[in-house]
Structure 1
């Protein structure tokens, strides 16, 4: 059997109500809907001690983990602002950048590998790659890693 990581994925219905309320209390605090832990726990009818006991150990599994993962690989000129322009295209398409790896430029050209998380509501990866490729200083954008569906 593999090494124990200390993490589990559990369906909501298997989680005790107090733990769900701790997550809700954290959301209330983060959103500013309540200003103090006292307000949050009173609103959700849990004890302060329960909140403090579990607050660092339970987190919501975010929907942002859904979608498809792609990697864009391309070469680009080592020019100030060009990477920023590429990242702006990615942001405008609604994709989430997971990793960026850029080689040290050789003869003024760097190789980039950008891993993206693309949700269903985001724009087309093919259109995004085409927009990046149209930028002066960017050479042939390749898309790989298609179809890694986490949802």
Structure 2
């Protein structure tokens, strides 16, 4: 058996209640460092054993405090200047593009894969993805990887 750990990105709405509560407790303890773990878990009706079981294994995507590199896939229309508008938005949000790959267009559609250093971006990752989705010609944006 391998000791190598696997990581997954998973939507919050499919998480068990105990993991959601663990995230709330962790957030509360970050906001109120003087609060005891006992009081924090009691506030969210979570057992201390559940908290200790999950506390070091679950981290919100938007909660990384160190350098974070994000890889995303954009499904877009093959419009002149679209990639430029995407890069302008990333630069305006203080993102640093590390790699870009744009596929050849098929039926006036193409995909763009971008990896960027998002450490300086003030928006949450979800906020950045939402901003990119709002660009005219961007049909779908998907987070496909992230360093933690």
TM-score (norm 2): 0.52
> Is the CA contact (8 Å cut-off) linking 2:74 and 2:111 kept in structure 1?
yes
- Aligned twin of 1:12: none
How many angstroms does 1:130 deviate by? 0.6
| Partner in structure 1 of residue 99 of structure 2 | 99
Q: Name the stretch that deviates more: 71-80 or 119-128.
A: 119-128
Q: Distance in 1 between matches of 2:78 and 2:121?
A: 32
Q: Distance in 2 between matches of 1:108 and 1:141?
A: 17
Report how far residue 120 of structure 1 moved: 5.0
Q: Which residue of 2 aligns with 1:14?
A: none
For residues 97-147 of structure 1, give each alpha carbon's deviation from its aligned partner in whole angstroms, at most 9, with x where no partner exists: 00000000001111110001111554322111111111121111011222x
Structure 2, gaps ≥5 residues long = 1-65
SS at match of 2:133: helix
C-alpha distance in structure 2 between counterparts of 1:115 and 1:127, whole Å? 16
Separation of aligned partners in 2, 1:140 and 1:96? 21
The answer for the alignment partner of 2:128 in structure 1 is: 128
Partner of 2:73: 73
Residues 107 and 122 (structure 1), Cα distance of their counterparts in 2 relative to 1, 3 Å cut: same
TM-score normalized with structure 1 length: 0.51
Cα distance in 1 between the residues matched to 2:116 and 2:101: 12
Matching residue of 1:142: 142
Following the alignment from structure 1 to structure 2, what is the Cα–Cα distance between the partners of residues 128 and 83?
A: 15
Aligned to 1:108: 108
**Which consecutive residues of structure 1, in runs of 5 or more, have no partner in the other structure?**
1-65
Aligned to 1:94, the other structure's residue is in SS state: coil
Tell me the CA shift for residue 95 of structure 1: 1.0
Tell me how far apart the structure 1 counterparts of residues 134 and 120 of structure 2 sit (CA, whole Å): 24
Tell me the residue number matched to 1:34. none
Q: d(CA) in 1 for partners of 2:92 and 2:126?
A: 14
- CA-based RMSD of the aligned residues comes to 1.5
